Amino acid sequence: MKPTAAAFLFAAAVFAIGSGTGTASDGAAGKAKAQQCAVCHGIDGLAKRPDAPHLAGESELYLRKQLEAFRSGARQHEIMTIIAEALSDEDIGDLAAWYSSIKVSVELPNAE
């Protein structure tokens, strides 16, 4: 194995081990927990308010990191900071699993 390939595999393994919480996330539980998110982000992950982002189809890692940042105060938002403070690691994992499992399709406009 070339040194670059070995380094890549090692880095990928370290990332995979370090990026999880050690527990499996439950998308079905996340759907139930997302009821509180639906007012702004929609149960389908498509935002209902113009100042809220769509969550459907985002990567699980991204969603997890953003919720953790709101919870820790590293990222601030008048509503999300308060909501995220009450979320456990399990809640965050379940919500991230739910919203990342939603499939989104995109249709490009005709550019004629």
Is the pLDDT at 82 greater than 90? The verdict is yes
Give me the pLDDT at residue 4, please.
53
Taking residue 87's Cβ as centre, other Cβ atoms within 10 Å add up to 18
CA distance 55 to 46: 6
% of the chain at pLDDT higher than 90: 74
Average pLDDT, the chain: 85
Contact 29, 94 (CB under 8 A): yes
- Taking CA atoms, 97 is separated from 6, 23, 56, 69, 108, in Å, by 30, 12, 10, 17, 27
DSSP code of residue 109: P
pLDDT band (50, 70, 90) for residue 32: very high
What pLDDT, in 10s, does the model give residues 33-61?
Answer: 999 999 999 999 999 999 999 999 999 99
User: Hey, what CATH topology would domain 23-101 get?
Assistant: Cytochrome Bc1 Complex; Chain D, domain 2 (1.10.760)
Taking residue 55's Cβ as centre, other Cβ atoms within 10 Å add up to 24
